Structure 1
Amino acid sequence: MSTPSPDAPVAVPAVFVHEALAGVREQGHDTAALLVAAGIDPDLPLDRDHHVSATQYARLLRRAMAALNDETMGLFSRKLRGGSFALMASAALHGGGTLVDALDQFLRSLGLMQDDLVPMLEDDGRHVRVILRFATASVAARPFVHGLLLRLMWRLMSWLDTGKLRAERVELAFAKPAHGDFYLNIFPTELVFGAAHSALWFQSARMQGPVRRDTSALADYLQKAVLDMVIPVVASARYGDRVRAHLQLEHTRLGQWQDLEQTASALHCSASSLQRHLAREQASFQSIRDHLRRDWAIYRLQTSVVTTLALAQELGFSDEASFQRAFKRWTGHPPGKLRRRP
């Protein structure tokens, strides 16, 4: 059993790239071309000790889906062609008045579109559980598939509840791998490896609540759906958690670090209100933003040959000197000391 990490990831272990591209390799497609198109060095060892940025990873997933016209990237025995997830999300949105109705419709649609999985929905009055029961052993043997399905289900249900729904527990039907700690980033809840079946748990009472979305927001959600593979689900009452997740999501999506006013607007409050909420949690917008920018700077210095000037611009500094001063304040060292050596 594991406890969740509080931080959104800025980098993804490259072993997840290897797992994601398994179906692409098996179908004989050129994975090197996909890596290059996503901005990833094709000679990068795809192991747990090397990393790609969250932006590169999301870009790679999109390109792999497009190359195969398969939203499961060749990992299932039958393709889920482009638009399949949109149909399943629409079915959930229109599936009934409650969240559990929506989840039931999503699972029914998923069951119709592929042959390898018979998802089960159980409600004992305390918890609603989605249980993944596989009909095809070769698909069940792919840990990436388990994570992909549970991740997208949780994120869709959270979106239907305007981001407020959290999972009580995630079970994964495989032993904890060497890179298992990263799963705490994509499943920030009680996490259990080595379960009999992979499963997603919600509070039953919460799942009797209404669907709070309509079709007007569906297109925007679908545009961001691939990022849900990377960015943690945050259904937290803590404003610090919500700010951290929002900043990381927008950086991954747009390559920009949003400011206080933009973030407050996204969280449906004023800048002054957001500052007060954070102060009550003994946090500040600037400290959260700087923590994320520090981690991004360290990652970029250690995994690329980016110049200090270019990195300063990526992080939103007005000039190189301002970035260097900030970096030394964050880490106690100048940027050059942490730079990767050839």
Structure 2
Amino acid sequence: MPVRRHFEYGSASNHYITALYHAAEERGVDSARLLELTGLNESVVDKPDQRVPAEKLALFQKLIWDDLGDESMGLSGYRLKSGSYYMMGQLTVQKSSLGQALALGARFYNLLTDDDFITLHKDKDVVRLVIRPTEMHLDPDHLFAEICLLAWHRYASWLISDILPLTETRFPYPPPNHIGEYHYLFPGVHRFNHTELALVFPVHYLERPVKQNAASLKAFMSRCPLELFRQYKADYSLATELKLILSKAMSNGTGTIEHCADKLHMTTRTLMRKLKDEGTSFQQLKDVVRRDKAIFFLGQQGLRINEVAEKVGYSDPAVFTRAFRNWTGQSPRDFRQQLLTDSEA
């Protein structure tokens, strides 16, 4: 039976509406007026604990794009005129494979910016799609950086009518306050404080055929930028089910690959093969679950670091600390202190 697919709507971190509001205001836009056109008002700005509907966030971004006539919103050092993303789509949707489409899309943006703004690099089994904004200081909240990553990942997934699995996503900055949003926006491993802003995915996906056309492109673009804030998903994926099993099993120490394979009624070899087909691995998924649980528990001030370590399956706090630093770029203690500082600000 073919797997039915859908797009998942939801809410978004307040970070995005706040960052958009201030970025537009600094560039002479009447942000309050545009926000009212979405049905929201200024009371939602600078409220870290308050989420906003993704549809309203997307409309606010579209209104800012139109007001400035710049899809980079003055955050990149380049002016990307309104319609640039659509024009890129019109060129690339005609290609036969994802690799050809991405290469042409990169060339298009490099002509617009007269620079190596987007580059593709093959490294053995993976491909890196690297984004190089020239004026990073113009984007202190990393808003444009995230939107670029989302725009390329969502478009690539849409082109092949499937999720483009991310081996990892690289960020040339520390873990942001809204890091909890990244699990949904950028599924896979996150590398912070990296030397580049990049999406990394399995090289064989470059051969996947483009399954869209000019008509479906028009419909896709009419839904942008909302498409950027929601993830193309299959109704079923082994990775999703495995993360649920791991989340339940981790507290009692049964989160082994043998335990999970047994729960899924398959051999460990079959489990590993199926996960590879989905562009991930058991260890990657286990790290994602551990990271997300650790972040949740670190937000509970009554738990000591060693207790958090035990809750996510580490008997040695030092090993947990090294793992957490690898996931987020910070130690658990520093991460907790940052959460506390942010909540008091």
Name the counterpart of 2:227: 228
Which residue identity is paired with 2:192?
F
Aligned to 2:51: 51
Deviation at 1:117, TM superposition (A): 6.0
- State whether residues 139 and 145 of structure 1, in contact with CA within 8 Å, keep that contact through their aligned partners in structure 2: no
Question: What is the Cα deviation at residue 45 of structure 1?
Answer: 3.5
| Separation (CA, whole Å) in 1 of partners of 2:115 and 2:24 | 18
Count, aligned residues = 235
Give 2:53's aligned amino acid: S
* SS in structure 2 at match of 1:177: coil
- For 2:137, give the aligned amino acid: S
User: How far apart, CA to CA, are the structure 1 residues paired with 2:134 and 2:8?
Assistant: 34
- The change in CA–CA distance for 1:161 and 1:131 in structure 2 (over 3 A counts) is same
**What is the aligned partner in structure 2 of residue 162 from structure 1?**
161
- The separation in 2 between residues aligned to 1:112 and 1:219, in whole angstroms, is 23
Matching residue of 1:198 = 197
Between the aligned partners of 1:219 and 1:46, the Cα distance in structure 2 is: 35
2: CA distance between counterparts of 1:71 and 1:191?
26
Offset of residue 54 of structure 1 = 1.3
- CA distance in structure 2 between the aligned counterparts of 1:190 and 1:236, rounded to whole angstroms: 22
TM-score (norm 1): 0.62
- How far apart are the structure 2 equivalents of 1:78 and 1:22? 19
Change (3 A) 1:226 1:137: closer
- Structure 1 unaligned blocks of 5 or more: 1-6, 242-342
Over 3 Å counting, the alpha-carbon distance change for 1:128 and 1:235 in structure 2 is farther
Q: Could you say which residue in structure 2 is the equivalent of 1:97? A: 96
Q: In the alignment, which residue of structure 2 is the partner of 1:179?
A: 178
TM-superposed CA distance for 1:142, in Å, is: 4.4
2:38 matched residue in structure 1: 38
User: Equivalents in 2 of 1:192, 1:68: separation in Å?
Assistant: 32
Q: TM-score, normalised by structure 2?
A: 0.62
Any stretches of 5+ residues in structure 2 without a counterpart?
1-6, 241-345
RMSD of Structure 2 on Structure 1 (CA): 2.6
Distance 1:17 1:68, change over 3 A: same
Aligned-pair CA distance for 1:237: 4.5
Q: Check 1:23–1:45 CA distance in 2 against 1; reply closer, same or farther (3 A cut).
A: closer
- Compared CA separation, residues 157 and 198, structure 1 to 2 (3 A): same
**Matched-pair identity in %:** 23
Deviation at 1:112, TM superposition (A): 1.9
Task: Name the aligned partner's letter for residue 16 of structure 2.
Answer: F
Partner of 1:128: 127
Residues 54/169 of structure 1: CA separation in 2 closer, same or farther (3 Å cut):
same
Alignment CA distance shift 1:189-1:228 (3 Å): farther
Output the CA distance in 1 between the equivalents of 2:88 and 2:166.
20
Aligned to 1:327: none
Q: What one-letter code is carried by the residue in structure 2 that aligns with 1:155?
A: R
